[in-house]
Amino acid sequence: MPEGDTVHQAAGRLHQALAGQELTVSDLRVPRLATVDLTGRTVVEVVARGKHLLTRLEGGLTLHSHLRMDGSWRIFAPGERWRGGPGHQIRAVLGTASRTAVGYRLPVLELLRTTAEDEAVGHLGPDLLGPDWSPTEALARLAAAPEREVGEAVLDQRNLAGIGNVFKSELCFLLRVTPWLPVGELPDPERLTTLAARLLEANRHRPRRTTTGRPDRPLYVYGRAGRPCLRCGATVRTAQQGDPTRERPTYWCPGCQKGPAPAA
């Protein structure tokens, strides 16, 4: 599941493959960009901003993409068979003489002036893996709504950018609070931002995300509903949190984590 760590990894791979190279192939398969031709432009850089990807091009253009739940960018050598899904799921193809980047299932794809990137990412809070990371600013944004549930507050990219459903559940477990605890009742709010930054930084370059440090059991609670907690042995539970129209299963241990929670 794409979150801040994996999106920053994707930006690194795209930058390594495309930066400094002239585009020889440009195929944007969304209706409003279908006639756009970027061939001949040099890719300046590819950067991540929270869970957003910004591919900056010569001439002051930026191709903005977002992976959401299951989007991905794949890199292929000349002649290599494309793998990542059926052809009808391809939304973008950017090719150079040596590499081709193929974007699968991209729910967001738009072309902006580079000077107007704030239209796409200006609403984001401090990026946990970015040069703008500020725990003080993130804490101030979280504290502005003390009644809000911790799980919902950390998912809100306007507070701090980069946390998704996996890190939400794991962060709450490590804080020993349920995701339904109000932010204003956190016993140590500063630890939330410190630990969030440590978790994403620790996974910034890992091919497989982990919060436990154990390759056999990489996560404490996420995806472990019905199984024993790795710390206390209680049965890990799951429930939906937040917008009922979006699938966001939340995992927690009733033995280790204190605070309100849905009935079993």
Would you name the residues annotated as active-site residues?
2-3, 51, 248
Q: Give which of 21, 179, 7 is closest to 98, Cα–Cα.
A: 21
How far apart CA 210 and CA 13 sit, in angstroms, is 20
How far apart CA 35 and CA 101 sit, in angstroms, is 19
Kindly list the strands in the beta sheet with 43-49, ordered across the sheet, starting from the edge strand earlier in the chain: 43-49, 52-57, 61-66, 108-113
Q: Where are the beta strands (DSSP E) in 60-143?
A: 61-66, 72-76, 90-95, 100-104, 108-113
Q: CA-CA distances (angstroms) from residue 7 to 1, 87, 123, 207, 213?
A: 10, 22, 18, 12, 21
Please, which residues have CB within 8 angstroms of residue 140's CB and are 6 or more apart in sequence?
Answer: none
Q: CA-CA distances (angstroms) from residue 58 to 34, 54, 113, 261?
A: 20, 13, 11, 51
